[in-house]
Amino acid sequence: MPSPPLVDNLDIVIPTIRSLAFLEQWRPFFIKYHLIIIQDGDPTAKIEVPEGFDYELYNRNDIERILGDKAWCISFKDSACRCFGYMVSKKRYIYTIDDDCFVAKDPSGEDINALEQHIKNLLCASTPDFFNTLYDPYAPGSDFVRGYPFSMREGKPTAVSHGLWLNIPDYDAPTQMVKPAERNTRYVDAVMTIPKGTLFPMCGMNLAFDRTAIGPAMYFGLMGEGQPWGRYDDMWAGWCVKKICDHLDLGVKTGLPYIWHSKASNPFVNLRKEYKGIFWQEEIIPFFQQATLSADSKDVFSCYTELAEKVREGLGHLDPYFSKLADGMIAWVECWKQLNP
Ligand SMILES: O=c1ccn([C@@H]2O[C@H](COP(=O)(O)OP(=O)(O)O[C@H]3O[C@@H](CO)[C@H](O)[C@H]3O)[C@@H](O)[C@H]2O)c(=O)[nH]1
Ligand SMILES: [Mn+2]
């Protein structure tokens, strides 16, 4: 059997506070890959890893031991803890998936190898500078449409592949409360590059990225226990990442692959975690839209450090939390550099 693509150059990062039984369904697609499991919550709890998988597992004690006095920048009791896995990985690419995401079926009834599609998305160029109306121009059976500038058809390197979800959609708490029975049954066979200059709500449950290109910007922020908000971990990372990808001429794709999202978390618990974010984001989004990174910031580290100071200046008035978040962003980059000299 030929090795699956990038098998030696991609880690799968899984945050879990529940169970890893979902891996059984992914076994055919994941078994050859190295897993990085971030065990959230009680570090004394025993998390069973299904037989045969090659993995490293980190709990809160490990995070404290490894990061020492900067461990506070990694969230506790929130899926944001997953970003520790990005930092300790030694591979070029990361795929992160939640423990309630299963293998979906495409319209023909075939199991979807989400990892393989993400890898295709990442290894193929993006088109952030000019929108191709026939979606991914590099996909078989598609191409650039008439009027697409030939000077732009080489595209730009892809940094992020954002996958979607059948069954339970990633709705915020108010939407979930109003539409508790809504399920996503629509399989849209498309991969699109998110145009330069446009932000997007990045969901962390089915996400892959080029760790070398954008990993240091994939900080999932200060969320969960002791923090004023939660469930904005992936959103915060997505806003920072898209801003930096636009500045560094990197592409962000969304669409295929789909996974089957099985568990609807409690909308009332979610509302309590999200509610500050629901009104803060009305100021945060314009902040990110208007933020400009200087020409001197030519790599992800300098971009992220510059952005952290802009967060402190531009959002500190909203709540003192944002100055602490800026500190967290700086501590994160310092930890990243220490672990990845
Ligand atoms: O305190 C926690 C809570 C959860 N986890 C692990 O994180 C993922 C996601 O958890 P869950 O499926 O309950 O969350 P959702 O409401 O479906 O989705 C949210 O999670 C993020 C996307 O990944 C985003 O905030 C929302 O979309 C699971 O693997 C849990 O085990 C945790 O580690 N600690
Ligand atoms: Mn979930």
Using DSSP bridges, classify how beta strands 34-39 and 10-16 pair: parallel, antiparallel or unpaired.
parallel
> What value of ipTM does the predicted structure carry?
0.97
- Whether 324 lines ligand 1, by a CB cut-off of 6 Å, is no
- Ligand 1 pocket test target in 98, 269, 274 with most atoms within 8 Å of CB: 98
Residue 102 CB contacts under 8 Å (≥ 6 apart), including other chains: 22, 25, 26, 259, 260, 261, 262
Tokens of 203: 């969901």
Residue nearest to atom 12 of ligand 1 (CA): 100
- Whether 170 lines ligand 1, by a CB cut-off of 6 Å, is yes
- Whether 99 lines ligand 1, by a CB cut-off of 6 Å, is yes
- Whether 100 lines ligand 1, by a CB cut-off of 6 Å, is yes
- List pLDDT tens digits, range 289-328: 999 999 999 999 999 999 999 999 999 999 999 999 999 9
State the average pLDDT over residues 9-22: 97
- List pLDDT tens digits, range 141-182: 999 999 999 999 999 999 999 999 999 999 999 999 999 999
> Can you tell me the distance from the alpha carbon of 209 to that of 195, in angstroms, rounded to the nearest whole number?
17
Residue 24 CB contacts under 8 Å (≥ 6 apart), including other chains: 50
Nearest ligand atom owner, CA of 266: 1
- List pLDDT tens digits, range 245-287: 999 999 999 999 999 999 888 999 999 999 999 999 999 999 9
E strand map for 246-312: 251-261
Encode burial over 88-108: b for 16+ CB neighbours within 10 A, e otherwise: bbebbbbbbbbbbbbbbeeee
Q: What's the confidence (pLDDT) of residue 150?
A: 98
Q: What's the confidence (pLDDT) of residue 287?
A: 98
- CA-nearest of 92, 114, 89 to 101 is 114
Strand partners, 260: 102, 166
Encode burial over 184-212: b for 16+ CB neighbours within 10 A, e otherwise: beeeeeebbbbebeebbebbbbbbbbbbe
Cα pseudo-dihedral 309, 311, 316, 319, rounded to 10: -140
- CA-nearest of 269, 255, 244, 141 to 206 is 255
Indicate the average pLDDT of the chain.
97
> Can you tell me the distance from the alpha carbon of 121 to that of 111, in angstroms, rounded to the nearest whole number?
18
In angstroms, what is the span from residue 200 Cα to ligand 2's centroid?
A: 19
3-state helix, strand, coil in the chain (%, to 5): 40, 20, 45
> Can you tell me the distance from the alpha carbon of 327 to that of 146, in angstroms, rounded to the nearest whole number?
48
Give pTM, 2 decimals.
0.97
Residues in the chain: 341
- Three-class HEC string of 295-318: CCCCCHHHHHHHHHHHHHHHHCCC
Strand partners, 15: 38
Q: What's the confidence (pLDDT) of residue 71?
A: 98
Q: What's the confidence (pLDDT) of residue 263?
A: 85
- List pLDDT tens digits, range 44-72: 999 999 999 999 999 999 999 999 999 99
- Ligand 1 pocket test target in 49, 79, 167, 183 with most atoms within 8 Å of CB: 79
- Whether 81 lines ligand 1, by a CB cut-off of 6 Å, is yes
92 three-class SS? coil
